[in-house]
Structure 1
């Protein structure tokens, strides 16, 4: 008898996370003799704990296809560190009540750890569960994978944004703003900030300076570079990762507090940099924070990224039906020109609680711009356009509303 599957989205969403959901659900439908019903947890692992489940069989073929062009998390996501004890026990009560034998957990590094934790609990207690992590993160920091689904589309967005903003600043620099700063996500790694360097066709084009967590921020050196850029070009554009830090490893924008996984809350590096430039150099600065805009920008998604997001979802199911457990579908680069890639399974033990830093050689000697090696890495990931349907001049995104399965368990009290 086929076992049912649970799919859940976790952590910050991406422009193409729902494409991975499409990959999982559509692939599972091709194996009705092995996988019964795919249930989606509303709002990730919290929905699983609360037994708020969606029967994805209610999705028509048209609904399923719409997942490929919809940003955000169609089934809802959450940030929650699954606890040993009552929460893990509850999760397996849910599995037993709904005859679930497969878990497809779609998320980043913290989610890989959660998926591994569930798999190890199942093995220890002798529960027949096949758990596969479906990768996604705009931070691009999952190890053993060439890139992470979601990243390519964000790289395309920030590259477009800084190129367009650079033209804006250039047109007004003689009499107005001389410095523009775009703050992008990247708490511990500078993949997103560095990818914006693709926008620069030459040394005088935006972005002129890139700030990443991997290169220590030195105020004097930074101000000198800004001053020299303005003297040479007439203005200066900067892309800064939110996790930009000094030589001691202290975040420039540390605001205090932490999330459920213990990550320090950051308070915005762009206004700090703008104030430093204004105070020390006297130049008028404008700044912007890409924030949710970068990870929701499905309208300018990378076709390469979309294809990879679907592929990892499909591969997760194929690995599962072949009996591969506690693995993650990883994207393996076979060549850069033309870009060729494949999907391999990597053990979750090699992924969970590990981060892939931006290689220093992807930046030039000063650390301000992309090197030729960095450009060769990033360039294929943003190739191709895959726009959603437009109606009346705006993207036509569905507002997902689902009915939920009748509950079989008593309510769970989360501490």
Structure 2
């Protein structure tokens, strides 16, 4: 039996399948008779010594997490700074780990979380504390370096592509006397992966989405207007998908909400779809509708990709395996070995090659005119949205999701104001 306790924490925006990773982590650890604690609300819970005893949950509940969206133990957007700037917080983490005999720390998140796990591993080594830190991949933005794709992305991509195909049928039916332009806003601050996924909805020039706006390409209003007009005149209507992070040539976010920055240093964005809709209406005179799916993109477990679910569970199981083997400061990443048939495997990658690195859309994935995806992008994206994995439904017609008890362990340290 392995020695010590495993601490699992979720970070940043949750996904339709992050709980599937949590479920896999807990089940794999239980099989090896390793105690699992979960930090309440991510790294904040670790700092506050607010730790959940997952052994209080039944195996049925743990298994049901695999089809439950959200973050079962709570997450947060808190980024620890450098070891020098935030040393007290890192030392507090080690103090909590010592108090609860935590020997394995699994941090389920994106770039910043990988960075935090890497720094914690370095501090533990400095203090000669036996701790194995594993970064576990998660993000709907698909922007993690090294890994072929990120658990969470495939399901959000499927939701996006299905939504565009369905909405386009609605717009087409009403275009003669009603809406001429429909604008859909996709998540993606600096990388246009989700916007690109919308391109799977249509395979030819006249199929929606007709125009995709990527953050990797500067937004030029005059050119955009010309293409909207040409599409409406040719097809009868125009479906536009815009990444929330599109920028003008001078680097200004089109949807900068003027709300400053969050703890991750991200500019608060707000409403690129409504902005574009207003500009098109005023500039071209078309009737326009727009939508901001926002959290729906990442919480739509009812439309999850089976591929995504399988990968989310696989990285969770491998994370436990790597931790118990003492493979410190690594992340289980997805490696694609074949497009057709689609084949993939999980391999370890050093956190230092992932932390704070951002994977943007390759130039070869964006159509030469900048408004669509290429066949190469389609070959990459299509396998990620394949397969259905619906949750069980109750007699009330709604999915049967679960809410863990989240019983807390007794605190052993003095309360601090560390946050």
Decide whether the 8 Å contact of 2:214 with 2:242 is kept in 1. yes
Tell me the equivalent position of 2:388. Answer: 385
Is 1:53 the equivalent of 2:51?
yes
Tell me the equivalent position of 2:104. Answer: 102
Match of 1:141 among 116, 136, 143: 143
Mapping 1:8-407, distance limit 5 Å:
8-32=9-33, 36-83=34-81, 84-256=86-258, 257-391=260-394, 392-407=396-411
Between the aligned partners of 2:403 and 2:102, the Cα distance in structure 1 is 28
2:348 is paired with a residue whose SS is strand
Unaligned runs of 5+ in 2: none
1:132, distance to aligned residue in structure 2 (A): 0.2
Between the aligned partners of 1:147 and 1:413, the Cα distance in structure 2 is 37
Between the aligned partners of 1:411 and 1:322, the Cα distance in structure 2 is 33
1:104, distance to aligned residue in structure 2 (A): 0.4
Is 1:412 the equivalent of 2:412?
no
Which deviations, in whole Å up to 9, do the C-alpha atoms of 1:181-210 show, x marking residues without a partner?
010110010000001100013211111110
Which deviations, in whole Å up to 9, do the C-alpha atoms of 1:136-192 show, x marking residues without a partner?
000000011110000000000010111111010111110011000010110010000
Between the aligned partners of 1:107 and 1:274, the Cα distance in structure 2 is 33
Decide whether the 8 Å contact of 2:61 with 2:404 is kept in 1. no
Which deviations, in whole Å up to 9, do the C-alpha atoms of 1:200-226 show, x marking residues without a partner?
132111111101100111111111110
1:102, distance to aligned residue in structure 2 (A): 0.3
Which deviations, in whole Å up to 9, do the C-alpha atoms of 1:258-307 show, x marking residues without a partner?
00011111121111111111111100111011100000000000000000
Moved more, 53-62 or 6-15: 53-62
Between the aligned partners of 2:60 and 2:270, the Cα distance in structure 1 is 41
Between the aligned partners of 1:47 and 1:24, the Cα distance in structure 2 is 18
1:111, distance to aligned residue in structure 2 (A): 0.7
1:291 is paired with a residue whose SS is coil
Q: Provide the aligned C-alpha RMSD in A.
A: 1.0
Between the aligned partners of 1:233 and 1:336, the Cα distance in structure 2 is 33
Between the aligned partners of 1:234 and 1:405, the Cα distance in structure 2 is 61
Between the aligned partners of 2:95 and 2:418, the Cα distance in structure 1 is 15
Q: TM-score, normalised by structure 1?
A: 0.98
1:401, distance to aligned residue in structure 2 (A): 2.8
Q: TM-score, normalised by structure 2?
A: 0.97
2:295 is paired with a residue whose SS is helix
Which deviations, in whole Å up to 9, do the C-alpha atoms of 1:336-391 show, x marking residues without a partner?
11110011100000000100010121121112111111100000000000000111
Decide whether the 8 Å contact of 2:144 with 2:359 is kept in 1. yes
Between the aligned partners of 2:148 and 2:309, the Cα distance in structure 1 is 15
Decide whether the 8 Å contact of 2:57 with 2:405 is kept in 1. no
Between the aligned partners of 2:404 and 2:177, the Cα distance in structure 1 is 48
Moved more, 68-77 or 270-279: 270-279
1:400, distance to aligned residue in structure 2 (A): 2.9
